[in-house]
């Protein structure tokens, strides 16, 4: 019986519990919270700016980017919830629940992105970038890429799939920011490639969908397994 309880205890913890000392774990937890708050503030500001452009200039690219920025805000908020409890820094159950929620958000957002991209392709919507959208896209590409690197690093140390997933989402935001500029530049030199923007949108949407499905397949069974540990606690 003691062996069973001990194995149950270990099954409820992430690998970081054996790698990090308590003060180190709390230090990295606080860094994860700071990065998440910074990510929420930055991406929310970018989303508001992009939505403003999409309404004023009827820009489909700006709308798609703004939608992805909102997704980034939600995923960072989930990471905030994940690490809001200092005692649960190594909790596998809390980690897996956060990942399941992220997986559902990824599926919903991927459907919206793909539908919007297919609509743009079917109506032959041409890419258009003005100075304001250009600035927002550049800032997005740079800031989201930096956030992605920080989240990947923290996720690796804390062995957190939720943080790594949030980092992946930030990376997608960075790619979308740069893709708006790439599509507009290519179209400027070759108008026959008007479909590049929509095609990239479809590709990104399908990638997010595949990641979300993989996340749910991996994490739903683990939530059920670690529930026994939470009951034991």
Give the tens place of pLDDT for each residue, 121-138. Answer: 888 877 766 677 778 788
**Region of poorest pLDDT, from 1-10, 24-33, 107-116, 117-126:** 1-10
Strand partners, 13: 91
Cβ contact 195:121 at 8 Å: yes
- pTM of the full structure: 0.85
CA gap 54, 60 in Å, rounded:
6
pLDDT at 156: 94
Confidence at 232, pLDDT banded by 50, 70, 90: very low
β-sheet bridge partners, residue 91: 13
Nearest of 147, 103, 123 to residue 58 by alpha carbon: 123
CA atoms of 11 and 228, how far apart (whole Å): 9
When pLDDT is cut at 50, 70 and 90, the band that residue 79 belongs to is: very high
- pLDDT grade for 66, boundaries at 50, 70 and 90: confident
Q: Is 6 exposed, middle or buried (0-12, 13-18, 19+ CB in 10 A)?
A: exposed
Segments making up each domain of the chain, as ranges: 19-232
Mean pLDDT (whole number) for 3-27: 70
- For the domain covering 19-232, report its CATH number: 1.20.1510
Q: What is the pLDDT of residues 43-54, one digit of tens each?
A: 899 888 877 876
């Amino acid at each position: 019986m003691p062996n069973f309880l001990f194995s149950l205890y270990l099954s409820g913890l992430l690998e970081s519990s054996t790698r990090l000392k308590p003060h180190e774990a709390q230090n990295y937890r606080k860094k994860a919270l700071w990065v998440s708050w910074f990510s929420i503030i930055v991406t929310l500001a970018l989303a508001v700016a992009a939505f403003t452009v999409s309404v004023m200039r009827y820009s489909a690219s700006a709308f798609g980017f703004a939608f992805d920025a909102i997704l980034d805000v939600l995923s960072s908020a989930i990471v905030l919830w994940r690490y809001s409890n200092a005692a649960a820094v190594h909790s596998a159950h809390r980690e897996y629940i956060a990942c399941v929620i992220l997986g559902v958000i990824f599926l919903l957002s991927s459907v919206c992105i793909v539908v919007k991209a297919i609509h743009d392709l079917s109506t032959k919507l041409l890419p258009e970038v003005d100075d304001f959208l250009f600035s927002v896209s550049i800032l997005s590409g740079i800031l989201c890429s930096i956030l992605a690197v920080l989240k990947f690093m923290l996720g690796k140390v804390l062995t957190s799939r939720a943080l790594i997933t949030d980092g992946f989402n930030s990376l997608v935001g960075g790619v979308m920011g740069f893709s708006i500029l790439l599509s507009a530049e290519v179209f400027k030199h070759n108008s026959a490639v008007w479909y590049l923007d929509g095609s990239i949108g479809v590709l990104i949407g399908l990638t997010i969908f595949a990641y979300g499905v993989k996340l749910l397949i991996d994490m739903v069974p683990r939530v059920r397994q670690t529930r026994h540990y939470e009951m034991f606690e």
